[in-house]
């Protein structure tokens, strides 16, 4: 019996046993037992959709893969020279003349955030008390959604990096909250710079959507937004594309199980400014360098996959091999920008008070004592073997939802029609005739 990508199940089982064995034997004490079935999120989204072997590729795939490879190696995105050999050698004193001319670092190399910039995920029960959170920027609907309360646990803390990423997931209500730079004020009250609330997570296609309250469906979209009468908006979310982190990060349980089982989110140093492609809903893509000379034409929302003919068993590092298998099966999607190179995301741990799952006993990142840092072992990731999938709808207007192209597949393999405004379960807020007729004042844009 074969999988949808043509792999034999016995081969996959052998890979998993080899991977788990390598992680255990390479460390002084065994890794803690994995969950019986690691949680995977947004089951109806592209994150859970296997990429067919014959999936259509983007016409610019070769060029954009080269740009991504270059950023992963920390060099100018536009260089034509492959710097893999120089990166593996490490010391410039051993480089060839060509390497010296083309492989000078302009940013850091590819890595994996696992601490300060890793999203912290709190999974909470249905009866978790709710805490109101004040939005510090202008968005009436989000302000109302957060003021309604968030089931934030006592002692919750965001990641300690400047993004302060924090995610709350409540399976009982099928709801997720995502925050960018949340904090407590001097009185102990919670605030956030930006974020989002996603309801009906199990049906979500993989991004925040514009969803009106039922009582306000007849109002123009601009008036609904101004009055705070949307249950969800496409501009919400922690990452600057409105593609959430939760379904695309590598959780501790997933890594310990030996299989990630979903598409990965990643971020790049540079990305195409002012233009994005579905499933992204916005972008913060920029050129880099003192004169803006380091540019990439990769748009936010771009999806890549590993060539299905590439043999992932040739990758010696077990964690890199696991990531490559996930990208080969499910792909990876550009959902944010980062301070250097290219970056993937593991689950934050310090705020939970856990023993370090990455470098503590049985550490997931410590299988090779010669390559302990992600910027070292990620050199083995087969960047050159990536392929960019045919891009989704190209969008440039932040005020409108970027719609799915025809034939887009969800997590169940179903074709998803172009985006439409979706009614949401009643919120209890009605709209009077006077309110509906009132003029729409001009408001400032959101802060994210």
Digit-coded pLDDT (tens) for 188-247: 999 999 999 999 999 999 999 999 988 888 888 888 888 889 999 999 999 999 999 999
For residues 390 and 427, the model is more confident at 390
How far is 361 from 364, CA to CA, in rounded Å?
9
* pTM reported for the whole predicted model: 0.85
Q: Is 47 part of a structural domain of the chain?
A: yes
Q: Does one domain contain both 289 and 207?
A: no
What sign has the CA pseudo-torsion 125, 128, 130, 133? negative
With cut-offs at 50, 70 and 90, classify the pLDDT of residue 448.
low
Q: Does one domain contain both 289 and 141?
A: no
Q: Does one domain contain both 346 and 381?
A: yes
Q: Is 4 part of a structural domain of the chain?
A: no
DSSP string over 265-295: EEEES---TT-EETT--------BSTTS-B-
Q: Does one domain contain both 62 and 177?
A: no
Q: Taking a C-beta distance cutoff of 8 angstroms, is the pair 50, 41 a contact?
A: no
Q: What percent of the chain has pLDDT over 70?
A: 83
With cut-offs at 50, 70 and 90, classify the pLDDT of residue 413.
low
Q: Does one domain contain both 226 and 262?
A: no
Q: How far is the CA of 314 from the CAs of 15, 310, 382, in angstroms?
A: 11, 9, 10
Q: Which helix (H) or strand (E) holds 254?
A: helix 252-257
Q: Does one domain contain both 50 and 65?
A: yes
How far is 344 from 112, CA to CA, in rounded Å?
5
DSSP string over 120-186: EEEE--TTPPPB-EEESSS-HHHHHHHHT-B-PPTT----SSTT--EEEEEGGGTEEEEEEEEEE-T
Domain that holds residue 158: 120-244+418-437
Q: Is 295 part of a structural domain of the chain?
A: yes
Q: Does one domain contain both 56 and 198?
A: no
- pLDDT one-digit tens code per residue, 2-26: 344 444 334 344 444 444 444 444 4
Q: Does one domain contain both 252 and 380?
A: yes
Q: Does one domain contain both 358 and 373?
A: yes
When the pLDDT of each residue in the chain is averaged and rounded to a whole number, the result is: 87
Q: Quote the pLDDT of residue 420.
A: 47
How far is 90 from 95, CA to CA, in rounded Å?
9
Q: Does one domain contain both 78 and 225?
A: no
Q: Does one domain contain both 297 and 286?
A: yes
Mean pLDDT for the stretch of residues 360-370: 89
Q: Is 167 part of a structural domain of the chain?
A: yes
Q: Is 1 part of a structural domain of the chain?
A: no
- The structural domain count of the chain equals 2
Look at residue 410 and tell me whether its pLDDT is greater than 80.
no
Q: Does one domain contain both 288 and 382?
A: yes
For residues 371 and 134, the model is more confident at 134
**Which of these three, 388, 403, 427, is where a domain ends?**
388
Q: Is 447 part of a structural domain of the chain?
A: no
Q: For residue 106, give the DSSP letter.
A: S
Q: Taking a C-beta distance cutoff of 8 angstroms, is the pair 132, 148 a contact?
A: yes
Q: Is 94 part of a structural domain of the chain?
A: yes
C-alpha triplet 165, 272, 226: angle, nearest 5°: 60
């Amino acid at each position: 019996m074969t999988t949808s990508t043509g792999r034999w199940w016995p081969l996959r089982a052998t890979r998993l046993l080899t991977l788990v064995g390598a992680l255990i034997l390479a460390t002084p004490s065994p890794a803690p037992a994995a969950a019986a079935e690691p949680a995977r999120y947004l089951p109806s989204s592209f994150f859970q959709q296997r990429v067919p072997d014959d999936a259509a590729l983007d016409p610019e795939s070769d060029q954009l893969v080269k740009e991504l490879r270059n950023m992963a190696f920390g060099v100018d995105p536009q260089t034509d020279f492959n710097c893999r050999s120089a990166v593996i050698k490490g010391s410039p004193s051993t480089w060839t003349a060509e390497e010296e001319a083309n492989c000078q670092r302009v940013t850091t190399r590819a890595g994996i955030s696992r601490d300060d910039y890793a999203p912290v995920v709190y999974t909470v029960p249905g009866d978790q008390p709710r805490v109101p959170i004040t939005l510090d920027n202008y968005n009436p609907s989000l302000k109302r959604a957060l003021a309604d309360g968030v089931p934030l646990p006592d002692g919750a803390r965001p990641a300690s990096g400047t993004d302060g990423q924090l995610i709350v997931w409540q399976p009982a209500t099928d709801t997720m909250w995502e925050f960018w730079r949340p904090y407590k004020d001097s009185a102990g009250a919670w605030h956030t710079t930006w974020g989002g609330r996603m309801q009906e997570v199990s049906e979500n296609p993989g991004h925040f959507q514009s969803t009106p309250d039922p009582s306000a469906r007849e109002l123009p979209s601009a008036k609904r937004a101004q009055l705070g009468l949307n249950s969800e908006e496409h501009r919400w979310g922690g990452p600057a594309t409105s593609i959430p982190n939760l379904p695309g990060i590598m959780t501790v349980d997933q890594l310990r199980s030996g299989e990630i089982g979903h598409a990965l989110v990643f971020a790049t140093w540079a990305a195409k400014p002012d233009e994005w492609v579905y499933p992204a809903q916005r972008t913060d893509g920029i050129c880099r360098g003192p004169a803006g000379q380091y540019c990439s034409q990769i748009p936010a929302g771009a999806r890549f996959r590993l060539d299905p003919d590439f043999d992932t068993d040739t990758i010696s590092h077990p964690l890199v091999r696991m990531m490559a298998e996930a990208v080969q099966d499910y792909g990876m999607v550009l959902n944010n920008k980062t301070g250097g190179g290219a970056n993937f995301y593991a689950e934050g741990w310090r705020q939970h008070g856990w023993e370090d799952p990455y470098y503590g006993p049985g550490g997931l990142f410590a299988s090779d004592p010669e390559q302990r840092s992600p910027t070292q072992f990620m050199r083995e990731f087969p960047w050159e073997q990536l392929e960019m999938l045919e891009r989704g709808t190209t969008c440039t207007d932040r005020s409108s939802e970027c719609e799915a192209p025809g034939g887009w597949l969800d997590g169940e393999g179903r074709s998803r029609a172009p985006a439409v405004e979706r009614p949401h379960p009643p919120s209890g807020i009605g709209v009077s005739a006077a309110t509906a007729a009132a003029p729409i004042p001009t408001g400032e844009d959101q802060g994210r």
